[in-house]
Amino acid sequence: MKKNKFWSQAVRQLTPYIPGEQPISSNLIKLNTNENPYAPSPKVREAIISELDEKLRLYPDPDAFSLKNIIASKLNIQADQIFVGNGSDEVLAHIFYAFFKQSSPIFFPDVTYSFYKVYCSLHEIPFKQIPLADDLSINTEQYKKPNGGIIFPNPNAPTGRLLSPKIIEDLLRSNKNSVLVIDEAYIDFGGISSVPLISSYPNLLITQSFSKSRSLAGLRVGFAVGDGSLIEALDSVKNSFNSYPLDRLAIIGAMAAFGDTKYFNVTRKKIIKSREKLSLDLLDLGFTVLPSVGNFLFITHKKYDGADLTLFLRENNILIRHFDKPRIRNYLRITIGLPEQNEHLVNTIKKFTL
Amino acid sequence: MKKNKFWSQAVRQLTPYIPGEQPISSNLIKLNTNENPYAPSPKVREAIISELDEKLRLYPDPDAFSLKNIIASKLNIQADQIFVGNGSDEVLAHIFYAFFKQSSPIFFPDVTYSFYKVYCSLHEIPFKQIPLADDLSINTEQYKKPNGGIIFPNPNAPTGRLLSPKIIEDLLRSNKNSVLVIDEAYIDFGGISSVPLISSYPNLLITQSFSKSRSLAGLRVGFAVGDGSLIEALDSVKNSFNSYPLDRLAIIGAMAAFGDTKYFNVTRKKIIKSREKLSLDLLDLGFTVLPSVGNFLFITHKKYDGADLTLFLRENNILIRHFDKPRIRNYLRITIGLPEQNEHLVNTIKKFTL
């Protein structure tokens, strides 16, 4: 880093998030960033083409109201309970500013989405990492202490482990003074969403993403749902940062994707089926496979080194994700691919274990 | 605002930017947000359609390197001297964090883009507004004092007044200890860009937008150019906020627009010609018209009230921008429309003045 005197103190102290590799070459099997192996609904293409006219010269609707309406009707909530942004990463960044920029530390798991720590650094928020249990599950009892806020993904990433809405409601009942954020990026692959709880708990905020179950990582759309007052705070941050976070094509493409429930159900069920198959195949090879309800598996093997296997797969044109971090150094996170890609993965791992 | 205990101190203190009205109805003549009256280059549509395949399921290139390459070749600079973002608003937000989040106040004009003050509030940056001269021009002599940074648009908005690169270089020579940001959102309508100065001044940062001269307000793309060290700081903020600010369609659409120099020149010249015509017509009606090199005019009339005229035009389905602010309360900012729209505007104003 070529830091110099022009850098603010704040920017000097940042340790940015490092996303998974996005290779330009396309002869790699990409199982490293939890993208959906299926293309988006064909209706997305149609919708975007219909928007490709002279209107591109005009600013988009700053509130993306038409998109909020579709989300509202599908989730059975109100449009003013929804905030949309340029990927759930942007939504989360604004959430940290709006609710977590306080003097008490916020809580999140020691093993979780590593961007949370980065947002804390960006917004100068104190935090405390709560260790996962030995089986890498979240023990919500440990979060029942005074805090400046709580955030975790459900299912957690990269573990894939799920908490039930009952456990979450129990936590909400004992945590009335700070915002609880449930990051549901992966909820559509077999979890039960906590969205119905937002009408009862004014401090519950739930984020979801179009990048996973809607196959639209390339379009950058995410959203949060919660009580109207929380949404107003987020609007206030958005309108102090960038009034028009979603472009016209992202808005209309996301509308088409969210509207196509049939396609959504077909593709996510295929992924769930593939996950169960891949899980069994890896168990057969002696791996420990955490029970995942995400579109990925988190696995480890007593005999093989995680970094070595990752490297071997890379040499065989398969990208997976290895986190060089405490507690999970020997684990691998593998995105569920197409059935033939998963099969090829298993066969390649077999070569490594021979 | 339904502020409650869950709002952070920071979000309570925000006074968000209010963008110009974006009406859903299309029977309005929209001369209020400085959009381009011409559609984007036809190559934009072609390019975006070519990207509408299964790749939408994959994250975009987080560095938008292919877009940076085109900008670099057209501006005769290096790709690592470029930062791109979701509209120049996002780029500016990161700039304020990276360079202006310091204890010394930053300087900007009292009459200028009103988002600057909002970014200061967002990032808790002290600022000092330097009054424009009586003719509403920027007097750079007043900026030659110790400061935490300087920012102004060139040409300034909403005045349209331009500073020459010579004046800017003179300011740079006496301002070596903080970053000078020139917001060139409107430079392509007759101004001379300061981009060639970036190789000589490591504290110069210039922002430009695709929303005005490239007719792509609906796609949300902006960029900054400057010394590699400044760009690194911006990358650090971006990667602590949202790794993928530009979606796949925005990247490829912006590439096509920036690549089509011929279309760019034809449309901007048409707008310049229309501006000169509209300027003369308004002078004929007794208006004072500031000498503008933007795609807008800033006008006032001794006999008529700015707010009244804005309302009258609104009733006649013409939107223009009136800022209810000190010094410019009686001014109107009018975006240059198509020749027939400008003519209709003049005829409608005539009805008001009868």
Whether residue A65 is found in the same domain as residue A185: yes
One pLDDT digit (tens) per residue for chain B, 354 residues? 578 999 999 999 999 998 888 887 778 999 999 999 999 999 999 999 999 999 999 999 999 999 999 999 999 999 999 999 999 999 999 999 999 999 999 999 999 999 999 999 999 999 999 999 999 999 999 999 999 999 999 999 999 999 999 999 999 999 999 999 999 999 999 999 999 999 999 999 999 999 999 999 999 999 999 999 999 999 999 999 999 999 999 999 999 999 999 999 999 999 999 999 999 999 999 999 999 999 999 999 999 999 999 999 999 999 999 998 989 999 999 999 999 999 999 999 999 987
Question: Which of A325, A350, A339, A304 minimizes the C-alpha distance to A136?
Answer: A325
Domain boundary among B259, B286, B319: B259
Boundary of a domain, candidates A259, A291, A306:
A259
Residue B208 burial by CB count (10 A; 0-12/13-18/19+): exposed, middle or buried?
Answer: buried
Which pLDDT does position A57 carry in this prediction? 97
Is the domain of B157 the same as that of B274? no
Phi first, then psi, for residue B81 (nearest 5°) are: -100, 15
Inside any domain, residue B17: no
Domain that holds residue B34: 26-39+262-353
pLDDT at B1: 59
Helices and strands (H, E) in chain A, number of each type: 11, 12
B52 touches chain A (CB under 8 A): yes
Q: Indicate whether A7 belongs to any domain.
A: no
The total of structural domains in chain B comes to 2
For the stretch A229-242, pLDDT in tens is 999 999 999 999 99
Domain contains A341:
yes
Residue among B207, B196, B194, B205 nearest B227 (CA): B205
> Distance between CA A236 and CA B131 in Å, rounded?
28
Helix locations, chain B, DSSP H? 9-12, 42-51, 65-75, 87-95, 115-123, 165-173, 228-238, 248-259, 261-284, 306-315, 339-353
**Distance (Å) from the C-alpha of residue A303 to the closest C-alpha of chain B?**
33
pLDDT, one tens digit per residue, over A90-149 is 999 999 999 999 999 999 999 999 999 999 999 999 999 999 999 999 999 999 999 999
**Closest C-alpha among B257, B258, B255, B249 to residue B60:** B249
Please give the residue of chain A at the shortest CA–CA distance from B221: A247
Q: What local confidence, expressed as pLDDT, does residue A153 receive?
A: 98
Please tell me whether residues A228 and A338 are part of one structural domain: no
In the listed set B213, B235, B259, which residue is the last one of a domain according to the structure? B259
Q: Indicate whether A97 and A203 sit together in one domain.
A: yes
Closest CA of chain B from A286, distance in Å: 31
* B67 domain residue, yes or no: yes
pTM flag (> 0.90):
yes
Q: Which residue of chain B has the CA closest to A65? A: B24
Q: How confident is the model at residue A347 (pLDDT cuts 50, 70, 90)?
A: very high
pLDDT in the model for residue A1 = 59
- Domain annotation covers residue B166: yes
CATH code, A181: 3.40.640.10
Q: Residues A82, A206: one domain?
A: yes
Q: Which residues contact A219 (CB under 8 A, 6 or more apart)?
A: A40, A44, A210, A249, A250, A253, A254, B56, B247, B248, B249
Are A123 and A219 in the same domain? yes
B204 and B308 part of one domain: no
Mean pLDDT of the residues in chain A:
96
Contacts of A75 (CB under 8 A, 6+ apart): A195, A225
Which residues of B fall within a CB distance of 8 Å from A6?
Answer: 99, 178-179, 202-203, 229-230, 233
Assign residue B347 a region: left if phi > 0, alpha if psi is -120 to 50, beta otherwise?
alpha
Q: Do A252 and A299 fall into the same domain?
A: no
Do residue A139 and residue A286 come from a single domain?
no
Are A178 and A240 members of one domain?
Answer: yes
Q: Count CB-CB contacts under 10 A for residue B74.
A: 12
Question: A109: which strand partners?
Answer: A130
- Asked, for residue B216, whether it belongs to a domain, the answer is yes
Q: Is A88 helix (H, G, I), strand (E, B) or coil?
A: helix
Tell me, yes or no, whether A125 and A149 share the same domain.
yes
- CB contacts, 8 Å: A250 with chain B: 247, 249-250
Q: Which of A14, A56, A236 lies nearest to residue B11, judging by beta carbons?
A: A236
**By the CB < 8 Å criterion, does A94 face chain B?**
no
- What is the Cα Rg of chain A in Å? 20
- The pLDDT value recorded for residue B27 is 84
Q: Does some domain include residue A315?
A: yes
Would B5 be classed as within a structural domain?
no
Q: How confident is the model at residue A16 (pLDDT cuts 50, 70, 90)?
A: very high
Give phi and psi for B106, each to the nearest 5: -90, 160
Query: Does A248 share its domain with A306?
Result: no
